């Protein structure tokens, strides 16, 4: 959050949007922020593992390959003594799994996105209410403790509120600080 942000007002708005808003002191992240900027944990539960933010980049949204190159895997299976019939069934299952994953990804991307909508409403309320000059969202898949895990957050993308859309959030890149402002005057040159 921007240095001028009203933490208690933003916390109330976060709670109304089903988000947490608690300061997070991860020394590795904090030292990469500009002076006065603050880092907050928004996860209400243990994690946001199923978040819709950035889902299109985490999903295998590619079309299933009609004829994927499975030659390496087939050689390994033959070395293990698999029969041709068993290998053929494995190939069919592999292609069916790829098609199922693709269909699931498509469904996730085309369906309603209530979490994304809540984020847009939350950030809009913070900025429109002038509770902060900007709010940033950092998507990161933690492998360890949120207070100690090292990560690079120097990549910052500035955008104005009209560009903070469902499509933007569904395609939000990991380890990028997606920083939203009401007006371009708060964006660095």
| Beta strand extents in the chain (DSSP E only) | 22-23, 40-41, 134-138, 156-160, 177-181
Chain-centre distance for alpha carbon 26: 19
Provide the pLDDT for residue 64.
47
The span from the CA of 37 to the CA of 53, in Å, is 22
Provide the pLDDT for residue 40.
93
Number of H helices, E strands in the chain: 7, 5
Provide the pLDDT for residue 149.
84
The span from the CA of 170 to the CA of 87, in Å, is 37
Provide the pLDDT for residue 187.
61
The span from the CA of 111 to the CA of 172, in Å, is 17
Provide the pLDDT for residue 51.
77
The span from the CA of 2 to the CA of 10, in Å, is 11
Provide the pLDDT for residue 61.
44
Residues of the chain below pLDDT 70: 46-50, 58-68, 102-109, 185-189
Residue 181 pairs in a beta bridge with 134, 160
Provide the pLDDT for residue 146.
82
Helix axes 114-128, 7-16, angle to 10 degrees: 150
């Amino acid at each position: 959050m921007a240095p001028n942000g009203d933490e208690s007002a933003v916390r109330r708005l976060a709670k109304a949007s089903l988000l947490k808003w608690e300061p997070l002191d991860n020394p590795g992240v904090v030292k990469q922020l500009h002076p006065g900027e603050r880092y907050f944990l928004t996860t209400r539960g243990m994690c946001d593992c199923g978040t819709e933010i950035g889902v299109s980049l985490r999903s295998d949204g590619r079309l299933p390959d009609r004829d994927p190159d499975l030659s390496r895997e087939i050689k390994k299976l033959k070395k293990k003594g698999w029969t041709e019939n068993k290998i053929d069934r494995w190939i069919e299952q592999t292609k069916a799994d790829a098609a199922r994953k693709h269909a699931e990804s498509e469904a996730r991307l085309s369906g309603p996105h209530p979490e994304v909508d809540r984020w847009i409403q939350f950030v809009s309320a913070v900025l429109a209410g002038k509770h902060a000059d900007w709010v940033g969202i950092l998507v990161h898949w933690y492998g360890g403790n949120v207070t100690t895990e090292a990560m690079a957050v120097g990549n910052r993308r500035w955008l104005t509120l009209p560009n903070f859309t469902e499509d933007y959030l569904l395609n939000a890149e990991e380890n990028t600080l997606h920083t939203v402002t009401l007006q371009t005057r708060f964006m660095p040159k």
